[in-house]
């Protein structure tokens, strides 16, 4: 496989299973971290082009918190988390005990809180892949930014230009608590072509 365009329905089903396991792990980890019940609905996994992803996220000028982590070991590539303002607010307010008025301006304390959530969620998905394949995968600490969707997506678009314009897009929705609006996060899975081949081969699939 040299491009995400070559993923078929069977491959997508495998990615959905990884997403289901990762989301379950993330819900448990976040519940412990935030000391509150966290339920995540069955994730929606799709292979979309960058224009479609941008529209799914609310358009190129939509402000979001982005966390980018590199994958190392038996699997190389990137994993990116995009958090809507309401979810970022909930996380920061719960962990810091402070009411953040503007997610566009993160102090060091707030940025650290978001980074820790990124680490937990990335580990949840990476561990799902590792448990299914037996591969050893490490993640780097996340780089955190708050910017418009168009600017955030330019990073993977440039880095993975040789793999085409498709991306593995996972959408999670968190069941709302009383008095809260429903929150969501989005995961962009970006393994290198060789690594995606390795994952699928370990799972008994070929391209």
pLDDT digits (tens, 9 = 90+) for 7-25: 888 988 888 888 888 888 8
Model confidence at 39: pLDDT above 90: no
Give tens-digit pLDDT for 51-73. Answer: 999 999 999 999 888 899 999 99
d(CA 23, CA 34) in angstroms, rounded, equals 16
71 contacts 160 by C-beta, under 8 angstroms: no
State mean pLDDT over 23-45.
Answer: 82
CB under 8 Å to 101, separation ≥6 — which residues? none
Query: In this structure, what token pair is assigned to residue 168?
Result: 């593995």
Give tens-digit pLDDT for 74-105. Answer: 999 999 988 887 777 777 777 777 666 665 66
Model confidence at 183: pLDDT above 70: no
Which of residues 139 and 185 earns the better pLDDT score?
A: 139
d(CA 166, CA 173) in angstroms, rounded, equals 22
pLDDT at residue 110 in the model: 79
Closest alpha carbon to 21 in 110, 113, 129, 133: 129
State mean pLDDT over 146-166.
Answer: 84
d(CA 157, CA 50) in angstroms, rounded, equals 7
Model confidence at 135: pLDDT above 90: yes
State mean pLDDT over 144-172.
Answer: 84
pLDDT at residue 193 in the model: 86
Closest alpha carbon to 54 in 194, 178, 169, 158: 169
38 contacts 31 by C-beta, under 8 angstroms: yes
Give the HSE-up count for residue 14: Cα atoms under 13 Å, Cβ half-sphere: 18
d(CA 95, CA 33) in angstroms, rounded, equals 8
When the pLDDT of each residue in the chain is averaged and rounded to a whole number, the result is 83
Q: If residue 136 lies in a helix (H) or strand (E), which one and from where to where?
A: none
pLDDT at residue 99 in the model: 66
pLDDT at residue 131 in the model: 92
d(CA 77, CA 195) in angstroms, rounded, equals 8
20 contacts 125 by C-beta, under 8 angstroms: no
pLDDT at residue 44 in the model: 85
For CA atoms 81, 83, 89, 94, the dihedral sign is negative
pLDDT at residue 178 in the model: 52
Q: Which of 60-64, 135-139, 180-184, 201-205 has the lowest mean pLDDT?
A: 180-184
């Amino acid at each position: 496989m040299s491009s995400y365009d070559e993923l078929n329905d069977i491959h997508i089903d495998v990615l959905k299973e990884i997403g289901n396991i990762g989301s379950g792990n993330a819900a448990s980890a976040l519940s412990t971290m935030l000391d509150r019940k966290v339920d995540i609905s069955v994730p929606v996994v799709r292979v979309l082009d960058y224009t479609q992803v941008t529209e799914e996220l609310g358009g190129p000028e939509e402000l979001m918190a982005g966390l980018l982590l590199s994958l190392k070991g038996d699997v190389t590539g990137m994993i990116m988390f995009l958090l809507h303002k309401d979810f970022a607010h909930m996380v920061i307010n719960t962990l810091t005990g402070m009411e953040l008025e503007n997610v566009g301006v993160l102090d060091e304390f707030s940025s650290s809180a978001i980074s820790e959530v990124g680490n937990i969620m990335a580990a949840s998905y990476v561990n799902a892949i590792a448990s299914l394949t037996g591969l050893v995968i490490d993640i780097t600490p996340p780089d955190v930014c708050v910017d418009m969707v168009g600017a955030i997506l330019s990073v993977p678009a440039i880095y993975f230009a040789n793999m085409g314009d498709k991306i593995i897009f996972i959408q999670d929705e968190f069941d709302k608590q009383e008095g809260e609006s429903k929150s969501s996060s989005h995961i962009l899975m970006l393994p290198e072509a060789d690594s995606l081949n390795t994952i699928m081969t370990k799972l008994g699939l070929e391209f």
